[in-house]
């Protein structure tokens, strides 16, 4: 299905029949990605007396309970409610879902015992900012990311200056293949989150961060259109299935 999209006075053709899914599926076993020191999600049939919610066990339908944490187990989109004292819901703050986006690949730089994404790395990839969303793929990129156990791994993170630059460029939606844009153990500083949202002085309530994506290597760096559609949760974060659409030449 071909469609013409108008963006900032320009027209772009995209093919809705060729989606590029950059989410990670949630599953109820050890092959699910994990972070923040939690065990894997659980997907189990409801049990009530003799009833087991599973067709192969005699029920008329499959009827599962699912236990998971969006921040630890799934591709998820979060709003400033993730770090604010007052409650803010992703459902209430994200009101549009289709954006021009840029995908960039960066190789985090060694800094003492850390791997960091610097302001210069980001700046070198932004020849213009005719887009609202930035997708960061960390190198090396490998299929094992879809089932990686991140706890105690000290993953690569954005330096505060890099997050500030992204905000200054007017980018509203930031996506990363790491469990967090911040360092795993930073004593609660959350410098990149705060810099990106400009919290608490002039908070960008309509800006979002999406974490734990996976961008296959076959998807090349460049500009796309992004469908960012979190599930309808009244929570600071919700599971999300970000999908890219290539711009046709």
Q: What is the pLDDT of residue 128?
A: 84
CA angle 80, 82, 84 (to 5 degrees): 65
Tell me whether residue 35 is in a domain: no
Q: What is the pLDDT of residue 196?
A: 98
The count of other CB atoms within 10 Å of the CB of residue 168 is 12
Confidence of residue 68 (pLDDT cuts 50, 70, 90): very high
Q: What is the pLDDT of residue 8?
A: 86
Tell me whether residue 147 is in a domain: yes
Counted domains in the chain: 1
Q: What is the pLDDT of residue 58?
A: 96
Q: Which one, of 203, 215, 157, 218, lies nearest residue 183 by Cα?
A: 157
Tell me whether residue 136 is in a domain: yes
Least confident of 29-33, 42-46, 94-98, 124-128: 124-128
Whether 212 has a pLDDT exceeding 90, the answer reads: yes
Residue 109 or residue 10, greater confidence: 109
Q: Residue 219 is part of a domain; what is its CATH number?
A: 3.50.30.50
Q: What is the pLDDT of residue 76?
A: 98
Tell me whether residue 9 is in a domain: yes
Tell me whether residue 132 is in a domain: yes
pLDDT in tens, 151-197: 999 999 999 999 999 999 999 999 999 999 999 999 999 999 999 99
Contact 39, 33 (CB under 8 A): no
Q: What is the pLDDT of residue 34?
A: 98
DSSP percent split of the chain into helix, strand, coil, nearest 5: 15, 30, 50
Confidence of residue 39 (pLDDT cuts 50, 70, 90): very high
Tell me whether residue 51 is in a domain: no
Q: What is the pLDDT of residue 129?
A: 84
The parent domain of residue 110 ranges over 2-24+70-248
Tell me whether residue 45 is in a domain: no
Tell me whether residue 223 is in a domain: yes
């Amino acid at each position: 299905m071909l469609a013409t999209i108008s963006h900032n006075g320009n027209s772009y053709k995209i093919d809705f029949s060729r989606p590029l899914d950059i989410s990670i599926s949630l599953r109820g076993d050890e092959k699910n990605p994990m972070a923040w020191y939690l065990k894997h999600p659980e997907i189990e049939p409801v049990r009530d007396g003799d009833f087991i919610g599973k067709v192969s066990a005699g029920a008329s339908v499959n009827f599962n309970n699912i236990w998971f944490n969006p921040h630890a187990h799934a591709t998820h989109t979060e709003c400033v409610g993730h770090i604010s004292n007052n409650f803010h819901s992703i459902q209430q703050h994200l009101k549009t879902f289709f954006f021009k986006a840029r995908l960039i690949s960066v190789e985090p730089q060694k800094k003492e015992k850390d791997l960091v994404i610097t302001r210069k790395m980001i700046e070198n990839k932004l020849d213009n900012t005719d887009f609202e969303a930035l997708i960061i793929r960390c190198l090396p990129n490998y299929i094992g990311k879809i089932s990686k156990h991140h706890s105690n791994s000290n993953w690569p993170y954005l330096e505060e200056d890099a997050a500030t630059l992204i905000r200054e460029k007017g980018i509203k939606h930031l996506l990363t293949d790491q469990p967090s844009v911040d360092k795993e153990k930073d004593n609660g500083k959350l410098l990149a989150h705060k810099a990106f949202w400009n919290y608490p002085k002039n908070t960008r309530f309509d800006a979002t961060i999406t974490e734990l994506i996976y961008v296959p290597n076959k998807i090349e760096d460049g500009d796309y259109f992004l469908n960012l559609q979190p599930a309808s949760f009244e929570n600071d974060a919700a599971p999300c299935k970000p999908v890219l659409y290539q711009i046709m030449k």
